[in-house]
Structure 1
Amino acid sequence: MPKYPEPGAGADRRGGDLSGAPMTMMPKATQFDAPSAARVGTPGRASIWATLPTRTRLILVVLAIDLIAAFVSCGVMVLNARSAVKVEMNATRATVEPLVADTIRMARSPTPDSLLHTLDLRFQTLRHVRVAVFDAKGERTGFVLPDKRRDRHVAPSWFVALIAPPPEQHDLPIVVNGERIGKAVVTEEPLDEIDEVWGYAASLSLASLLLNLAVLAALTIAFGRVLRPLEGLAEGLTQLERHDYTAHLDPPASRELAAIAERFNSVAGALREARDANGRLNRQLLTAQDDEGRRIALELHDEFGPCLFALEANAASVARIAEGESVPDRGKLAARAAEIGSIVGQVQARNRELLNRLRPHALGQVPLAECLNLLLADFGRRHPGTLFTGSFEELARDYGDLVDLTVFRCIQESMTNAVRHGAAKHVRAEARESSGPGPAILHVVVRDDGAGIAPDHGTGLGLSGMRERVEALDGSFALDNASSGAVVRIAIPIVPERGAEAQSADPPSPPSS
């Protein structure tokens, strides 16, 4: 008898439960398209899929793949089993006619009754078919035994309905010496073959179910270990949210997660440095404000106080001359008036100098290049032993209040440092605009021939202020030693929107570093 091929040989043995046990499958959108599922949800509310833990979602995706593989395996097995049962039925039916011829040939005294009885007994041993023997009159020959195979088959009825081919019945005439003595009615009976298929399918389903349960358990443990560093990352981010920048992650074994941990530690370190720098700048700002207030108070006391006292004294002198009984001495009055005018001029000069230090009065009213030239001329008057030169011909009229003020203050502070700390005899400032494929860049360079930067030079308030101003405009600031003296290089990208920004009051200039 031909060997029935193994059912589902081409199926995926990782398939799910093939035993017919009811299993719930996830909705299509939940399995494969979590973003789309989230989009179709209620606005402002996360979908159920999005609220699940990552490990649960991964397990559900693996389970969905297993279920699909199980259904595909079941379909392939049913198709193969149908074909195999049909082939087995045809093969068994084909053995009936040789069996009849062999029985007739082996019979020594083949009377019709004995021959038909012998055939009926031999047909009882056949599988997959039922053969009923009838004599020439159409009456059943032999013993009609009950068909117990239908009562003891194990395959459920729904499985039989899937596998069993349409029932077929064939009549085979029994002829001896040219005389028809009866017939054999062959009816297909695939229950035995279907029981074999069912047994194989049940065993395969049980093995697949146990294997998948083991795989899911292993994946649950593996995903838990793989995703455990993410819990540490979440705790670290919570620390950063609470402004605790001492958070540190130990690099996990996974190369990808180790890279994330390294980046996190770098970000935490950068935030810690930024916080420390902000703290230093806040302390410097408070110190600068106190120092500036002290300087202004000293100037008001030392410069304006004597002038006001002199004005008061001259006014009292004029009043006494005017109240005298004799004719007022015009010469004395003219001298007092000249002295009062001189004092007023001195007060006006100091007032302009003080206002210009607090806020350049010409900035925004005249072109930027002219303001910078006026700054050089003012430094030349106050420091006659130093030559101040500049080149600002290629500048636009203005670049907005923030950029103009930053350029002015940086050049002012750089020249102050060159004179005060470098004892320079020549200071040159240059400012030009360069264009390229990206935004235009405003370059500012201040060189001096002084002593340069000392190795133990610290970052004072003036340098910190310049750096902060430039970096606030997304620019770059560099202070280096040149062949002789020091050089300050500043690059500020020119953004058109800055020109339309609201004009802000300039904070007091910090003292030079």
Structure 2
Amino acid sequence: MDASGQFGAVGKRPTALRQRELPLRGIALAGSLLVWIAMFAISVSVVIWHARDSVRRETESAFMLAKAAATLTLPTAFQRRDVMAEATRIAADIRAQRHVTAELRDAAGQQVQLPAMLPVPVENDAPEWFARLFRPPPMQDVFPITQYPNVLGLLEIRTEPSDEIAEIWRDLTVLVPLLLVTGLLAVGSTMALTLLVVRRLNQLGAGLERMRIGELDAQTPRSGLAELDALGEGIDTLASHLARERAENRLLQGRMLSLAEAERARIATDLHDEIGPRLFALRAAVEQARRQDVSPELAENLAAIAAHSDAIRDSARAAIDDLRPSPDDAEGLEEMIRELLIDFGEAAPQVAFDLHIPEALPEPGESGRIAMYRFIRESVLNALRHARPTHIAVDIQTEGRQIRARVCDDGPAPLREGRRGLGHQGMRDRAAAIGAEWLPPRRDGGMTVTEFRMTFP
């Protein structure tokens, strides 16, 4: 079970689905802003509705009280009193009250100057558009000032809610900033919590990504959020299970490769022990027959038999070389590779071989050692058989827990995919069996390059 193979398909989402996805931070920000705007609009609407009703009721109440006071206190037309002076005092008293105002005019229609009365009217600093929003329908009433038989003037009483509207304006100028600050704090808190959750989700995603590439030993960090920590523990448990499964699979693959190597060695031995002596006996018999006095036709047939026996011998030797097992298992990977290239150098002296290998090459395990050895051997053999190179370089590098081998030759371009033989298929299958990666030959800088990458335990 290869972790990278399992999670590679899961981690890739269809493009059409990804285009419809929205980031959680954007959703949280838009949602919190919409909720705050709705709450702000509702709060302000409720305040305005109640304030308008309050202004209407208070101005009506104040108007009725002022009207009753004027009715009860104005002198009658038959009293021998200074009626205009009394009306002036009453008008001044009404003007001093909240939510109402009064004007006194004489018989000629001229406005009578009223004395200033406490309390001082509240300054009206509300803008006109705001005052129009809260101002209720106006109410007014006129009382004639008479002293029989003359009409001395008129007392007019009107509603004047400017002071109440000014107070509402000042209250709202305090309330609205408070609502704004409260909304910003709420949005900020929501975004902070969202960022915390997103950060934790990103950490969990990073853990899944490590699982996808095969790193199963890393633990996901804890955030203190119970639900997300439970999810992280589940991911860690899954990673541990996959690590155990991978270890068991690698052990089984190692055993399978070992059995395959043993079978290859047995077949090579059988070829050498069984076919070799018979071919030698056949060749000896043919040579003995050719030394006797035979007809030209029979001599020609014996020569053909000798040629065919030589061809079979060469084919058997090539097969035995291909099936020849790797060096002694007691040797390390570095010794195995060096001995392999020495053998190739003796077999192909016209080719220059270079080997670049780290000073401390880690041991990738039995199956990894066999797979790496077979890859290098098969790649060099392919180059020697098909590319006619003058230079072959073997480069081995390590990075973290990954080991990479590159075989480069200066022969012509590699064969097309459809013409690759069983050797390439064998390398591909061997890499897949141990969770490694084999890259087929490609041209790079005038060289034919093939690579083998695997992760060692």
Q: Could you tell me the TM-score, scaled by structure 1's length?
A: 0.46
The structure that is helix-richer by fraction is 2
Q: Which residue, out of 12, 33, 52, partners 1:63? A: 33
Aligned to 1:300: 271
- Write out aligned runs for 1:487-498 (5 A): none
- On the 8 A contact 1:245/1:271 being kept in 2, the answer is yes
Displacement of 1:84: 2.4
- On the 8 A contact 1:104/1:110 being kept in 2, the answer is no
Q: Partners in 2 of 1:102 and 1:207 — Cα distance?
A: 47
Aligned to 1:84: 54
Unaligned runs of 5+ in 2: 1-14, 296-304, 324-366, 368-420, 431-457
Q: Partners in 2 of 1:170 and 1:322 — Cα distance?
A: 159
SS at match of 2:74: helix
SS at match of 1:152: coil
Q: Partners in 2 of 1:173 and 1:110 — Cα distance?
A: 16
Q: Which residue, out of 91, 103, 128, partners 2:73? A: 103
Q: Partners in 2 of 1:293 and 1:507 — Cα distance?
A: 13
Displacement of 1:146: 11
Unaligned runs of 5+ in 1: 1-37, 325-339, 359-460, 462-503
Displacement of 1:100: 1.7
CA 1:65–1:155 in 2, change beyond 3 Å: closer, same or farther?
same
- On the 8 A contact 2:99/2:162 being kept in 1, the answer is yes
Q: Which residue, out of 80, 83, 87, partners 1:112? A: 83
Displacement of 1:193: 1.0
The aligned amino acid for 1:254 is L
Q: Which residue, out of 134, 141, 146, partners 1:163? A: 134
1:196 counterpart = 2:167: yes
SS at match of 2:96: coil
- On the 8 A contact 2:63/2:139 being kept in 1, the answer is no
- On the 8 A contact 1:120/1:133 being kept in 2, the answer is yes
Q: Partners in 1 of 2:97 and 2:147 — Cα distance?
A: 22
SS at match of 2:35: helix
The aligned amino acid for 2:263 is E
- On the 8 A contact 1:245/1:268 being kept in 2, the answer is yes
1:256 counterpart = 2:216: no
1:183 counterpart = 2:154: yes
- On the 8 A contact 2:102/2:158 being kept in 1, the answer is yes
* Aligned residues: CA RMSD: 5.0
CA 1:296–1:205 in 2, change beyond 3 Å: closer, same or farther?
same
- On the 8 A contact 1:249/1:265 being kept in 2, the answer is yes
Deviations 1:84-109 (A, max 9, x none): 22222222222233112210369974
Q: Partners in 2 of 1:101 and 1:170 — Cα distance?
A: 11
Q: Partners in 2 of 1:229 and 1:268 — Cα distance?
A: 18
CA 1:222–1:119 in 2, change beyond 3 Å: closer, same or farther?
same
Q: Partners in 2 of 1:106 and 1:303 — Cα distance?
A: 151
The aligned amino acid for 1:308 is L
- On the 8 A contact 1:134/1:141 being kept in 2, the answer is yes
Displacement of 1:210: 4.5
- On the 8 A contact 2:96/2:117 being kept in 1, the answer is no
Aligned to 2:176: 205
CA 1:246–1:163 in 2, change beyond 3 Å: closer, same or farther?
same
Identity %: 25
Deviations 1:309-363 (A, max 9, x none): 4444554566577649xxxxxxxxxxxxxxx9xxx9xx9xxx9xx9xxx9xxxxx
- Write out aligned runs for 1:304-315 (5 A): 304-312=275-283, 315=286
Displacement of 1:65: 1.6
CA 1:207–1:323 in 2, change beyond 3 Å: closer, same or farther?
closer
The aligned amino acid for 1:94 is M
Aligned to 1:127: 98
Q: Partners in 1 of 2:73 and 2:42 — Cα distance?
A: 47
Aligned to 1:446: none
Displacement of 1:192: 1.0
Aligned to 1:244: 215
Displacement of 1:265: 0.9
Q: Which has the higher contact order (CA 8 A, sep 6+)?
A: 2
Q: Which residue, out of 225, 234, 237, partners 1:266? A: 237
CA 1:158–1:241 in 2, change beyond 3 Å: closer, same or farther?
farther
Q: Partners in 2 of 1:64 and 1:174 — Cα distance?
A: 60
CA 1:320–1:228 in 2, change beyond 3 Å: closer, same or farther?
closer
Q: Partners in 2 of 1:273 and 1:227 — Cα distance?
A: 30
CA 1:197–1:106 in 2, change beyond 3 Å: closer, same or farther?
farther
Q: Partners in 2 of 1:112 and 1:225 — Cα distance?
A: 79
Displacement of 1:297: 1.3
Deviations 1:201-253 (A, max 9, x none): 23433443444454455445544555553353244345446543211125544
- Write out aligned runs for 1:339-354 (5 A): none
For structure 1, which segment, 116-125 or 94-103, has the greater mean C-alpha deviation from structure 2 after superposition?
A: 116-125
Q: Which residue, out of 122, 125, 139, partners 1:154? A: 125
- On the 8 A contact 1:100/1:174 being kept in 2, the answer is no
Displacement of 1:163: 1.9
- On the 8 A contact 1:116/1:141 being kept in 2, the answer is no
Aligned to 1:74: 44
Displacement of 1:149: 7.3
CA 1:320–1:72 in 2, change beyond 3 Å: closer, same or farther?
same
- On the 8 A contact 1:116/1:135 being kept in 2, the answer is no
